[in-house]
Chain A
Amino acid sequence: QQPVQSPQAVILREGEDAVINCSSSKALYSVHWYRQKHGEAPVFLMILLKGGEQKGHEKISASFNEKKQQSSLYLTASQLSYSGTYFCGTEMDSGGSNYKLTFGKGTLLTVNP
């Protein structure tokens, strides 16, 4: 089942902060975050696992609320290079990972000078 992302789009000025949210109606084993630049493939940013483990880029910050099945990606002091479409991907909890990663529709982030 496709997770729901919000907002659909956000426009920032360089240096401003943004939060992108991802929610699911199902119990999750993990949440992934990816960024995609126009015309390119999605690139991994972070994974958040049930139980609290996180792996990914050090400069990226995210949270995972297991009770609410919600995750948020925090982009602070934005740079022009942060522009792109952000996707969250979720894996259902079936007593562990089922390795079936389903993505949201994406959030278009534009950072202007």
Chain B
Amino acid sequence: DAGITQSPRHKVTETGTPVTLRCHQTENHRYMYWYRQDPGHGLRLIHYSYGVKDTDKGEVSDGYSVSRSKTEDFLLTLESATSSQTSVYFCAIRLGLAGPDTGELFFGEGSRLTVL
């Protein structure tokens, strides 16, 4: 099974403070994603990465930045957190599509962020 860990799992912070969420994978999957999930909006793509130092924006990238300096780590940073960024954040890795592999996204357990 693909190994993926998100940290922290829960965080409460105040408006205006910087926040970094970490996604760590134990396998060398090329593609990694950050989504946020809010009631009534489903899963919305923030940023994704297709390799070390290769990232691209998703639907809701304003207010977020990402970095990927190593294959195994994909960091999501909120430079100055706002209450509208209160959400559950999911990291995902993309499995291969060749042979029996399905090309699926495998999700981490999520990080619940509350911005007061």
Interface residues in chain A, defined as those with a beta carbon under 8 Å from any beta carbon in chain B: 2, 30, 32, 34, 40-44, 47, 55-56, 87, 89, 97, 99-106
Shortest distance in angstroms between B94's beta carbon and chain A's nearest beta carbon?
7
Asked if B110 and A87 sit within 8 Å, CB to CB, the answer is no
Asked if B44 and A103 sit within 8 Å, CB to CB, the answer is yes
- Closest Cβ neighbor of A3 among chain B residues: B42
Given the interface pairs A2-B59, A41-B110, A42-B90, the reply to whether A101 lies near B40 with Cβ below 8 Å is no
Among A41, A89, A105, max chain B CB count under 10 A is at A41
Shortest distance in angstroms between B48's beta carbon and chain A's nearest beta carbon?
6
- Of the candidates B33, B56, B108, the one whose C-beta lies within 8 Å of that of A101 is B33
Q: Which residues of B contact A30 (CB under 8 A)?
A: 103
Check B43 for interface membership: any CB of A closer than 8 A: yes
- Of the candidates A47, A55, A87, the one whose C-beta lies within 8 Å of that of B43 is A87
Which residues in window 3-44 of B have CB below 8 A to A? 31, 33, 35, 40-44
- Of the candidates B43, B50, B103, B108, the one whose C-beta lies within 8 Å of that of A103 is B43
